[in-house]
Chains A and B, each alone.
Chain A
Amino acid sequence: MVTLRINGQPHEAAEPGRNLLSFIRYEAGLTGTKYGCGEGLCGACTVLVDGQALRSCTTTVGAVAGGDITTIEGLATDGALHPVQQAFVDESAMQCGYCIPGFIMTSVALLARDAHPGSAQIREALALNMCRCGTYQRILRAVEQAAQRTGGEGS
């Protein structure tokens, strides 16, 4: 039996070998985290584990036992969007939206470790996330905007 917290709620998984993405989506019912490739290459399944961005599709629940997991559903607080979410809305940084939760989680992790990333750092951090609709220019702009908004607060 493995215990983990997802968005602050405790969850128990019977099998340590259970795929984390599958567990999040179908046991915890949090479907905002997406399956894109199953190989850790596209980033659609990115979640935060103790604040670090992690590909859930290539991770087992056992590997994150006891961990504190945040999914896209856990970012907004009291109905207010996280600054990164708000920036994606403001820049219309999306088309089909399927990859967007992964981009947002990766960006949140980036801004948590570097409040003032340059555009080169942002590109580098997001290089392993794919958007097949090709909205990269908007995504990069959104993350820059979020960095400007939150950077001053030191968050």
Chain B
Amino acid sequence: MSSDTAAALREPGLHVVGQVAMGFPLPRQSYANAAYGNTKPDTVSARWLTVRPDGTVVAYAGKVEYGQGIRTGLAIEVADELRVPLASVEVVLADTDLVPWDMGTFGSQSTARVGVQLRKAAATARQALIEMAADRLDLPAGELIASGGRVAPRSDASRAVPYADLIAGRSIAHDVDDAIALTAAADFTVMGRHHLRVDAVARVTGAAIYTQDIAPEGMLFAAVLRPPSRGAQLASVDLSVAERMPGVALTVSDGDLVAVLADTDERATRAAAVVQAQWSERTDHPSHLDLPVLLLSSGHDPFVTQEAGALDEGFRAAEGVLEATYFLPYVSNAPMEPRAAVARWEGERVTVWAGTQRPFGIRTELAQALGIDETQIRIIVPEVGGAFGSKSPYPIAIEAARLAKLAGRPVRVAYDRADEMTYATFRPAALITIKSGFRADGTIVAWQSDGYHAGDRPFLGRRGSETPYETPHVRVTTYTSDSPLPSGSYRSLGGAANHFAREVHIDELAALLKIDPVEMRLRNLANPRFRRVLERAAEAHGWGGGKGQGVAIGVDVGSYAATCVQLDVQGAEARVERVTVALDCGLVVNPDGVRNQAEGSIVQGMGTALYEAMDFHGGRVLNAGFTRYRVPRSNDAPAIETVLCGDDTTPSTGAGEPAIVPIAAAIANAVYDRTGQRIRELPLQRQLR
């Protein structure tokens, strides 16, 4: 137990303490070990939950709220297990001084893992309160029941004792009981019901505070000099004009960090514009037009994610063979809030506000960069204005801390829109070839897929590469290819690319064999969860009527999705009119939260299908801004129906990502249905004839 935890446990209240590294089984997908297996083997215990002396509850988690609704979802879980009203639960997130260590908020793990840990903590607290009441009332614990923040004899509600009276201002600590029975779905009173977001009022009144809004007394605004092209080296810099500009408090040239610090953001930007800098730039940068060849020719480290039977035997047994290549460009996460960081030193200790998905990871990086101990650093993650994977890297947190140290005052470093879309990571570009062997009845007998994914982190491209269709002879291989732009996390990582290729290919087979696309998939699917989402989506959508329909299925983070699309094409503009998604993410804690995530995934995935692609040349991103990078807007938005069809008895799996994996293929397949044009390359509006 760390000393911080020990101090916390001396505060009045009933505390529940548990291991930070949670022993939950990892998801069984092949990417799981690569993606999630690096959980820090930190054996330190931490406080997960406190019932305060007044009977209200505070839950602690290292996860970050960037819109996905986890503050609401986790509060719902705690309220239900502790038998208290939702309004009496507060959830404290992502403040490294207060919450259990966490690897980061990605891979849809908040409900699946931390939610379960908090349910156990809440159930442990409830059981402890029942046992305290048993002593007080001199009754066996089994005759008592907790409800509405009180414990009462089952037979006599008038003898109810409020939690506050049981705690009576004492400090009590319990360990999380890992084996404790959690509330069964049939007995839920808060989980599974419709709730408004607990943070809704703050979000509609401007009271929600994001990193961009943090301004400690005396704060200076920094404008940091950034390279004009990737890999450019600073040859010389002259700050003499900039430092005489109005409002400039300080200029900094500290190794690789050159900045102007001023009393307003505008004055910092104006002064930075007159910094005289000479750069040495590379001249060998590829452009986005080089990507397909580059991906294919630079692919290395083949990794087989799925293998069965013998491919040559499968293709010999096939009555037909289809081979096709699919391409997806880099796309930008482009969250609405550009990243910002604010640092304030107090003696040898620094507090950094940063809207990152990895507060503890950033703390470690900061300690290394500054040569100080992690205990000297507090990272606070305020509200985060969207991320979708791109706010894991957060180099400006280090810049802000360094500049604040030099200035002796709080300093803010913020990206503008162009910075946010330039000094960022992008969803990896991918080129995928698929060769399938089939019989005339639609049975797939052989499947060879080779995926070339940009970037040096192989697990990005492996995710979702396995075919879910029953196929006797299979080999799926992913390759790591050179990446001219930094590739990084984006909702479902390579899952979206792999699904696009596979689900368009299945549609091509269906068209070739004149089999209905839903029927084609059902003929090759055995997994009952897959079959169910597909059947439910087709039924709810009214599949089969009218031109312009497309379907696709997918699995991601253990959750299953099937998507049907209705669209129209006018010239070079495709308009998605209606989308139906059936989603099975197991037990649903917060149905409206899941629907909201599914809708968001579909709109975002629609953007990648129709419009979005990073253009780059000479080491420069050419469309870092909303003038030249189109994203979906209100008048592009389709009507979306989400059908939840998971079982209450199946553990919760992720809801933030699965709905994005089928949508691009469903749209491309609908374009084929509408126009007869087969789209194998995104964004498809660049392909429409």
Which residues of A line the B interface, CB within 8 A? 18-19, 22, 25-26, 29-39, 41-42, 44, 71-73, 75-76, 81, 85-86, 88-90, 92, 94-101, 104, 123-124, 126-140
Contact = CB atoms under 8 A, between A and B. Distances in A.
Contacts, number: 181
A132 B213 contact: no
A22 B270 CA distance: 14
A123 B577 CA distance: 14
A77 to B, nearest CB: 12
Interface string B515-559: 000000000000000000000000000000000000000000000
Interface string B626-638: 1100011111111
Interface string B317-357: 00000000000000000111110000000000000000000
Nearest to B636: A136
* Most central of B69, B264, B638 by chain A CB within 10 Å: B264
Contacts of B636: 136
B599 A132 contact: no
Contacts of A29: 215
Given A26-B215, A38-B417, A98 B210 contact: yes
Contacts of B429: none
A31 B213 contact: yes
Contacts of A135: 596, 599-600, 603
Contacts of B334: 132
B66 interface: yes
Contacts of A96: 66-67, 335-337, 383-387
Given A81-B205, A100-B203, A133-B386, A44 B336 contact: yes
Contacts of A134: 599-604, 632, 637
Given A126-B634, A127-B633, A137-B637, 12 more contacts: A29-B215, A31-B215, A37-B626, A38-B416, A85-B204, A92-B196, A92-B592, A98-B383, A128-B633, A135-B603, A136-B636, A139-B634
A15 to B, nearest CB: 9
A19 B66 CA distance: 28
Contacts of A19: 266
B634 A97 contact: no
B387 to A, nearest CB: 8
A41 B634 contact: no
* Most central of A19, A72, A75, A94 by chain B CB within 10 Å: A94
22 contacts: A22-B266, A31-B209, A31-B210, A34-B336, A34-B385, A36-B337, A41-B627, A89-B200, A92-B196, A96-B67, A96-B383, A97-B385, A104-B204, A126-B635, A127-B634, A127-B635, A129-B634, A132-B335, A132-B336, A132-B388, A134-B604, A136-B633
Contacts of B66: 96
B197 interface: yes
Nearest to B197: A92
B421 to A, nearest CB: 10
Contact of B603 (A31, A32, A126, A136): A136
Contact of B626 (A75, A94, A130, A138): A130
Nearest to B212: A35
Contacts of A38: 416-417
Contacts of A72: 204-206
**A interface majority secondary structure:** loop
Contacts of A39: 417, 625-627
Contact of B336 (A85, A123, A131): A131
Interface residues of B, number: 59
Contact of A35 (B201, B338, B604): B338
Contacts of A31: 206, 209-210, 212-213, 215
Contacts of A25: 213
A100 B337 CA distance: 12
Contacts of A132: 334-336, 386, 388, 604, 631
Contacts of B635: 123-124, 126-127
Nearest to A126: B634
Contacts of B416: 35, 38
A92 B200 contact: yes
Nearest to A82: B204
A49 B206 CA distance: 18
Contacts of B383: 96-98
A138 B599 contact: yes
Contacts of A139: 634
Contacts of B199: 97
Nearest to A76: B205
Nearest to A27: B264
Nearest to A74: B206
B206 A30 contact: yes
Nearest to B213: A31
B235 interface: no
Contacts of A86: 204
B626 A42 contact: yes
A72 B204 CA distance: 8
Contacts of B640: 137
B200 A98 contact: no
A44 B337 CA distance: 9
Nearest to B414: A35
A149 B204 CA distance: 17
B210 A89 contact: no
B181 interface: no
Nearest to A36: B336
A42 B626 CA distance: 8
Given A22-B265, A94-B197, A134-B604, A36 B417 contact: yes
A131 B386 CA distance: 10
